[in-house]
Amino acid sequence: MKYSIEYIKSLGLNKSENNLKLLINIFNDSNDVDIKREAVSSIGRQNDLDGIYKFISEYAFKKNTIMEYIYQMFRTCLYKSKIDSRFESLKNRIIEFYNNETINKMNEFYNYKHSNKKTKKNKITTPLLLVGDCEETLKTLPENSIQLTFTSPPYYNAKIYSDYHSYKDYLEKMKNVFKECYRVIEEGRFLIVNVSPVITKRPGREFESIRYPIHFDFHKILEESGFYFIDEIIWIKPESCVKNRVGGYQQTRKALTYKPNCITESILVYRKKCSFLLDKNVSEYKFYDKFENEGIDTSNCWYINPRSDKNHPAVFPEELCRRILKYYSFENDTVLDPFAGSGTFGNVAYKMKRIPVMCEMDNKYVEIIKGGKINYDIRK
Ligand SMILES: C[S@@+](CC[C@H](N)C(=O)[O-])C[C@H]1O[C@@H](n2cnc3c(N)ncnc32)[C@H](O)[C@@H]1O
């Protein structure tokens, strides 16, 4: 007999001894994964706790059971554990038996939802400029006070302003900064980092220059700092704007000497780990920013011209900041750039009615930020 999902759902909605039996039969008879999963879900909706308990105890620990069914059974245990303690022990047995990431996440999510836990938020209401090493200055900010962080950290030893003893030291430093960012960012909000692979200057022609894929290594340190991966947006620049690396190959056509021109940078989008969905973050806003008259970026490739500046070697294009602010923050949010440079992100954020918090340790750039239009409260 062929069953439809709708039919099984309707059996789930109508609770009766007969429907429970019918659903268990469907689960046993069908070979279709979707049908069987829906049957498990509808079994969980029934009222007969003894029957449901017997069904789950019998099937949840069978060898080679499809995990989709186990997740549904576990879900039932979570919800029924409120009214029947047998399901609490069944739930714990399933957790122990499978030691499965999805099951653990479901459990964490459920516990959070029913804990009434409220994290205290702290509001920063005026623009702030923190002068000094951000690993230290960030410590002066209260926790849960930042709604969005966007930054472009020093690219290891690519420019004169950064100088680390080793790549390992560099990553360690970045991790310490990300951990501080984690503390100040509100639960569920985003940390967005602009990086790209970097090549270090070689000391002479006879030595090999080393290229580091910073964005690959950042994934690990961002995770270790408490964030999880959401997206990678690729910022694409016109080829005419980037360093020509392909010239050597173009002349000789010798294989192995090929080095393509790099026209992309990564925009790594991470979210601060928490046990609730993004919907909860969104629901805290009663109004929405209106960008009705502009198009939206439907793909993760953003074509934006780079910007050069006589005062700073690596400034953000304003358009990049604008899109990040548009997609990942609301008006009145407090937004942070821990490696502010000339303060581009702060300038755009302020224009878009956000409250900027900027950190910079180089006095030359601090002066540029101070000389701008924003009346920053300056802290050393
Ligand atoms: C890539 S630049 C950022 C440029 C910026 N996006 C702009 O639009 O001007 C990185 C900046 O981080 C600063 N910096 C590096 N290490 C720092 C640290 N530990 N604390 C604060 N600032 C730091 C550098 O002085 C540099 O200006």
DSSP calls for 131-168:
ES-HHHHGGGSPTT-EEEEEE----TTSSTT---S-HH
Q: Say yes or no: CB of residue 319 within 6 Å of ligand 1.
A: no
Protein residue with its CA nearest to atom 15 in ligand 1: 154
pLDDT tens-digit map of 128-155: 999 999 999 999 999 999 999 999 999 8
Is residue 347 in contact with ligand 1, taking CB distance under 6 Å?
no
| Burial group, residue 198, by CB count within 10 angstroms (0-12, 13-18, 19+) | buried
Q: What are phi and psi of 217, to 5 degrees?
A: -70, -25
- Indicate which atom in ligand 1 lies nearest the CA of residue 309: 9
Q: Is the pLDDT of residue 203 over 80?
A: no
Q: What is the dihedral of CA 77, 80, 84, 87, to 10 degrees?
A: 0
Query: Residue 160 above 60 pLDDT?
Result: no
The response to whether residue 131 sits with its C-beta less than 6 Å from ligand 1 reads: no
CA–centroid distance, residue 168 to ligand 1 (Å)? 19
Q: What separation in Å is there between the alpha carbon of 178 and the centre of ligand 1?
A: 14
Fold of 128-379: Rossmann fold (3.40.50)
Q: Please give the Cα distance from 181 to 151 (Å, whole number).
A: 11
User: SS3 of 174, please?
Assistant: helix
**pLDDT for residue 159:** 58
pLDDT of amino acid 45: 95
Structural tokens at position 50: 């003894």
pLDDT of the residue at 289:
66
pLDDT greater than 80 at residue 83? yes
Cα of 339 from ligand 1 centre, angstroms = 4
Q: Name the H helices within the chain.
A: 5-13, 17-29, 33-44, 49-59, 67-80, 85-98, 101-113, 134-137, 167-184, 214-224, 247-252, 278-283, 318-328, 344-351, 363-370
Average pLDDT of span 97-104: 95
**Residue 206 pLDDT grade (very low, low, confident, very high; cuts 50, 70, 90):** confident
Question: Rounded CA gap, 354 and 321, in Å?
Answer: 12
Ligand 1: which atom is nearest the Cα of residue 133?
A: 20
Q: Tell me the Cα Rg of the chain.
A: 27
Q: Which of 164, 266, 261 is nearest to 215 (CA)?
A: 266
Distance of CA 340 from the midpoint of ligand 1 (Å): 5
Closest alpha carbon to 337 in 316, 353, 311: 316
Nearest CA among 170, 173, 181, 174 for reference residue 139: 181
| Cα 366 to ligand 1 centre (Å) | 10
Which residue CA neighbors atom 14 of ligand 1 most closely? 339
Question: CA-CA distances (angstroms) from residue 84 to 52, 68, 77, 142, 349?
Answer: 11, 24, 9, 42, 52
Which of 198, 307, 360 has most ligand 1 atoms within 8 Å of its beta carbon, as the pocket-test mutant? 360
Ligand 1 centroid to residue 244 C-alpha, Å: 25
DSSP 338: T
Ligand 1 pocket mutation pick from 173, 339, 348, 365 by most atoms within 8 angstroms of CB:
339
Coil vs helix vs strand at 348: helix
d(CA 78, CA 42) in angstroms, rounded, equals 15
Distance, CA of 112 to CA of 132 (rounded, Å): 38
Q: Say yes or no: CB of residue 154 within 6 Å of ligand 1.
A: yes
Interval between CA 102 and ligand 1 midpoint (Å): 38
- Centre of ligand 1 to C-alpha 138, Å, is 14
Q: How far is the CA of 107 from the centre of ligand 1 (A)?
A: 40
Mean pLDDT taken over the chain = 93
Task: Give the residue from 213, 196, 264 showing the smallest Cα distance to 234.
Answer: 264
pLDDT tens per residue, range 268-323: 999 999 888 999 999 999 877 677 778 899 999 999 999 999 988 889 999 999 99
Show Cβ contacts of residue 242 under 8 Å, excluding neighbours closer than 6 positions: 261, 262, 263
Report whether pLDDT(158) > 80: no
User: Where are the domains positioned within the chain?
Assistant: 5-113, 128-379
The finding on whether 318 has its CB within 6 A of some atom of ligand 1 is: no
Check if 362 has its Cβ closer than 6 Å to any atom of ligand 1.
yes
- In this prediction, residue 349 carries a pLDDT of 98
User: What does the pLDDT look like over 114-128, one tens digit per residue?
Assistant: 887 777 889 999 999
Q: How many CB atoms lie within 10 A of CB 211?
A: 11
Q: Is the CB of residue 361 below 6 angstroms from any atom belonging to ligand 1?
A: yes
Q: Is the pLDDT of residue 255 over 90?
A: yes
Is the pLDDT score of 161 beyond 60? no
pLDDT confidence tier of residue 79, bands split at 50, 70 and 90: very high
| Mean pLDDT of the region 81-92 | 96
